[in-house]
Structure 1
Amino acid sequence: MVVEVTIMQKQVTIIGSGIVGAVTAYYLSADPTLSVTLYDEGIGQATKNAAGIIFPWLSKRRNKRWYQLAKAGAALYPEIVADTQMGYSVYQQAGTVVTRENPDDLQALYDLALERRKTAPQMGNVEKLSAAEVQDKIPLLTAPQPGVFVSGGARVDGDKFAHNLLKYAEKRNLVRHKGKVRLGDQGQLLTVNGQQAYDTLILAVGAWLKPLLLPMKIVADVRPQKGQLIEMQLPETWGDDVPVLMPEGERDFIPFTRNKLVVGATHENDQGYDLQASDLVENDLFASGYKLDSRLRKDQITQVKVGTRAYTRDFAPFFGPLPDNPHILVASGLGSSGLTTGPMIGKLLADYVRTGKHDWDNYQLPVENYLTPAD
């Protein structure tokens, strides 16, 4: 006699398809004991509109927890990319150049890179370059400065990365839905198709966490920051080994594979959730790129991308279960380093869902620091 045993799957629901939601879904979809559902509004997402620089090691931030989180996130990319067989159009570890005009500042930056490499071998090779050597690595430049090159630096197309992860997860154990969702006062998940049940709910909605939690009388310490960048298609092409440039005093200059150039992004604190592209900002971004490559033309701009980042008062991300509701997990406050810290946050959340255990005190302050009861 054969007895069939039915295993009840735990229902995990994710709200948000940005970097945190996508990575969390990727890891959770590998677990056959889980039924994973993801809801996506896709509005103003920071992941889709980010410059895509993966380079945390020379940051001057004093927040040691943030640095450990960012360092771990950067180290996770090659593993995920290899496992999912993503191509160069998504992720390229071509290195990063950071420039400094003053020789003393350049030497200090070089010394910092050597020191940080002792605990971050994924940085790879570190070289101090003359202006001419910088131009050899980045032929687009017409006004190069001396700099420090770190071979482990990378660029990622956040939109393609998240999209590919979700497609990969759908082949395993993920169901996706489009449309607006909201929460009831007791954490009920309310969709266009009515209330949906869940065992665990993960809110990975970035800057939209604050309005989403308000019905539960919880105020999240999150403020929106507008970010804009320009994409350009240039007539010349280049190889896969052209590094990212983080120039002194100008916007970041990111040559993607073949002939796509990205310049940006801005950090605008007074625009709220506005997603309108600004002609003034577009001109500013172009002017910054033009200072680096005087051959650029305005008609080479193919689009202005606009997204909304989430920031906290101490500029640190937070993630984990709500203090009074362990079945609801949140993640927000990633700021402009979201594509760097996001993968590790997603992995940590997935590990917590699967095991019920966590060890993330080295990465953040308690989540309670960022959530307070509403008046």
Structure 2
Amino acid sequence: MVQKIAIIGGGIVGSTAAYYLSQDEYANFEVSMFDEGIGQATKAAAGIISPWLSKRRNKKWFRLASDGAELVAKIAQETKMNDDAYANNGTIITRKNKESLDELYKIALEREKSNPQMGSVQYISKDEIKNLIPIIKNSPYDGLFVPGGSRIDGNLYCQHLLNIAMKRNLSIYKGKVKLINDNQILYKGKIFTFDKIILATGAWSKEILANLKINLNLRPQKGQLIELRIANNEFINKMPVMMPESEYDFIPVGREKLIIGATHDNDQGFDLKHEKSVDIALVKTANNLINNVKANDIILSKVGTRAYTDDFSPFLGMIPGHPSLFIGTGLGSSGLTTGPIVSKLIVDLIKNKKIDLNQYQKPISTYIN
């Protein structure tokens, strides 16, 4: 019997869910994706997958993020994702003083035991950082090198997985939808009925569930990043990404392209306006590490909206009292790391597989009322 599944939202949660639902074990599924594509965090995201040295005390989040990092690497390998979308080149994390660096190293040694994907973390000097990332001229601090760290381009990642799914059982519809009830969606004046619906709508999840009188503990956060064209003959392949203390992330992509960002703005709601003042702040980070970067070196500035909960924790699962509705949201700035595993867990739930969500999150009722 054919099962009809709808996915609302084409970001990292939606695209990964579509990919998993296109596997052979779901051959009897018809999957429809509805995606408006406005303000989507993933399309504006290029980031770093390296959660292992986070000092967040939330053990459930850390389990989700570390398992997510492992899953992203697996997906990249099994789908033959190219280096533009995902590259495991390592991460450098710097600290201003030796005491902070030593503290971070102790965390690394402890977490290496249960997270082999992070690799063997090593101290790295300022000069060694310059050798690994030759475009850097002004590395002010020593750091740690995490071999398992990776960079990811959210838009390219999603498109890669959607291309695979569309060859199998996925149809994509562009535009805004309205959720009528647990099983029906209004799209361009027509009502479509499904067996299950996955809400992968990020910060817009509150809006789409309002018609069903379901309220979420969720708020939007604006993020902006820039891509710079740096005319520098010292660009090399496989440069690590860097997370400098007190600066924005530094992500060399190769072929003279450098990404800086992204910002975190909690006060602008769903405003997607590009801000030149933010570009200037991001260019300043670049100039603190390499010389003579100017605003006219910006080739692209991206703006997106992330979804956050009050305790900064993602949540997923079946919406209580609505057995046909599934949701995954609240990913915040870790979305490129946690989004894929959130998707896989949702798909497992749809297939009635036994999984223990308690290891990853508080009860979903914490975030829904």
Structure 2 Cα separation of the partners of residues 370 and 181 of structure 1: 23
Q: CA deviation at 1:52?
A: 1.6
Alignment-derived partner of residue 109 in structure 1: 104
> AA paired with 2:158?
A
Contact 2:132 2:240 in 1 (8 A): yes
- Given the alignment, which residue of 8, 17, 24 partners 1:15? 8
Contact 2:250 2:261 in 1 (8 A): yes
**Would you say 1:212 and 2:208 are equivalent positions?**
yes
Change over 3 Å in CA distance of 1:186–1:109 after alignment to 2: closer
Q: 1:90 to 1:186 in 2, by over 3 A?
A: closer
Residues 314 and 328 of structure 2 are in contact (CA less than 8 Å); yes or no, is this contact kept in structure 1? yes
Whether the 8 Å CA contact 1:11–1:198 is kept in 2: the answer is: yes
Identity of aligned residues (%): 47
| Aligned residue identity for 2:4 | Q
2:59 pairs with 1:64: yes
Separation in 2, partners of 1:283, 1:53: 22
Given that residues 183 and 324 in structure 2 are in contact (C-alpha distance below 8 angstroms), is that contact kept between their aligned partners in structure 1? no
Letter in 2 for 1:165: L
Cα distance in 2 for partners of 1:182, 1:118 equals 47
Alignment of 1:346-365 (within 5 A): 346-355=343-352, 357-365=354-362
Which residue number corresponds to residue 245 of structure 1?
Answer: 242
The partner residue of 1:165 within 158, 161, 165 is 161
Measured in 1, the distance between the counterparts of 2:45 and 2:280 equals 18
Instruction: Give the aligned partner of residue 45 of structure 1.
Output: 40
8 Å contact kept, 1:187–1:216: no
- Judged with a 3 Å threshold, the aligned counterparts in structure 2 of structure 1 residues 187 and 33 are, in CA distance, closer, same or farther, namely closer
> 1:189 aligned to 153, 176, 185, which one?
185
User: 1:123-178 CA deviation, whole Å, 9 max, x = no partner?
Assistant: 01311011111111111212112100001000011100001100100111111111
* Alignment match, 1:3: none
Residues 204, 171 of structure 1: alpha-carbon distance in 2 compared, 3 angstrom cutoff:
same
Deviation (angstroms), 1:357: 3.6
Q: Could you say what the CA RMSD is over the residues aligned between the two structures, in angstroms?
A: 1.2
2:331 alignment counterpart = 334
Normalised TM-score (structure 2): 0.96
Match of 1:146 in 2: 142
Matched residue, 2:81: 86
Q: Is the 8 A contact 2:117 2:148 kept in 1?
A: yes
Judging changes above 3 Å, is the alpha-carbon distance between structure 1 residues 130 and 356 closer, same or farther for their aligned structure 2 residues? closer
Whether the 8 Å CA contact 1:19–1:342 is kept in 2: the answer is yes
- Write the letter of the residue equivalent to 2:226: I
For the 8 Å contact 1:138–1:243, the answer to whether it is kept is yes
Q: Please list every run of 5 or more consecutive structure 2 residues that lacks an aligned counterpart in the other structure.
A: none
Contact 1:36–1:173, Cα closer than 8 Å, also in 2: yes
Maintained 8 Å contact 1:51/1:263: no
In the alignment, which residue of structure 2 is the partner of 1:96? Answer: 91
CA offsets 1:236-281 (integer angstroms, 9 cap, x no match): 2523321011001111111013221011111000000000110111
**1:175 matched to 2:168:** no
Any unmatched runs of 5+ in structure 1?
1-7
Q: Residue 20 of structure 2 aligns to which amino acid in structure 1?
A: Y
Partner AA of 2:13 in structure 1: V
> Matched residues in 1 for 2:138 and 2:362: separation?
43
CA contact 1:91–1:156 (8 Å) conserved in 2: yes
d(CA) in 2 for partners of 1:266, 1:322? 31
User: What SS does structure 1 have at the residue aligned with 2:51?
Assistant: coil
Q: CA deviation at 1:335?
A: 0.1
1:307 paired residue among 304, 309, 318: 304
1:293 alignment partner, one of 273, 290, 295: 290
Q: What residue number does 1:260 align with?
A: 257
CA contact (8 A) 1:94 1:240 kept: no
For 2:107 and 2:171, the matched residues in 1 are separated by: 45
Cα distance in 2 for partners of 1:137, 1:69 equals 30
Give the letter for the 2:232 counterpart.
Answer: E
Following the alignment from structure 1 to structure 2, what is the Cα–Cα distance between the partners of residues 35 and 359? 27
